[in-house]
Amino acid sequence: MTSFLPLFQALGLTLLHMSWEGALIAGAYAAGLWLIPAARPNARYVLGLSSLLAILVAALATFTYELTRQPAGFALDVVAAAPALAQSSALGLSRWLPVLDAVWLAGVLLLSLRMAGGLWQIGRLSVEAQAVPLTIRRRFEAALDRAGLSRRVEVRLNTRIDSPFVVGLMRAVVYLPLSAVTALGPEQLDAVFAHELEHVRRGDYGWNLVQSLVETLFFYHPPCGGSAAACANSANCVAMTRRSMSAAIR
């Protein structure tokens, strides 16, 4: 257990440091959104992705830095993490770091189980998926050509879902609800395909996993979670904008 003590100490200090580091990154992201007009959703989306990566990089760099300073510099690190406290208070804080680690690990475990359950349900969709009618497949292939996607993307029908969405990294699948076949006209279906294929083109499924990772690791930090949610909203704005442009071109 003693051999793991530096890891736990570095983890606790990283959680403390990320309280202000994450706030700075979230503040910079909010300032960027204020400076970039809403008419440029792609730039806002790139800014959001950059903020997610910055949060992860900052946490990893801080943890690595704190780990290299263990155990000799531990007391000094606690003071650096809370400079307003006196030396005695800082040493008292060090005794609470294991509690902080335990609470954080418990929260991450619970959220990870929820995330794993969601991924399992998504995986079940492929088992229950059905082939789409030939006419819809042909329209989908035409949409693929318009989107300029050369890698393999499939379209499947699933009666358990109520809205279209994309799943997969290397081999993406566009799932359609039954209503897409029975209620949507050809132009509406083309608009749906354009929207979903824009998500495929940008790899939004992978970035959604990164967003979920940030929300899981920093559940205790609302600004970090807010940045992740805003990034997801920007992704939908970009997809809708490009879908409108494609419709206007046709």
Architecture of the domain defined by 129-202: 2-Layer Sandwich (3.30)
Please answer whether residues 157 and 130 qualify as being in contact, where contact means their C-beta atoms are separated by less than 8 angstroms.
Answer: yes
- Give me the pLDDT at residue 59, please: 95
List the end-to-end C-alpha distance of the chain, in Å, as a whole number.
65
- Give me the pLDDT at residue 249, please: 33
Residues of the chain with pLDDT under 70: 1-4, 39, 70-94, 150-151, 225-250
Q: Which two tokens stand for residue 105?
A: 């690990």
Where exactly does CATH 3.30.2010.10 map onto the chain? 129-202
Dist CA 161 CA 165 (whole Å)? 9
What region does 168 belong to: left with phi over 0, alpha with psi -120 to 50, or beta? left
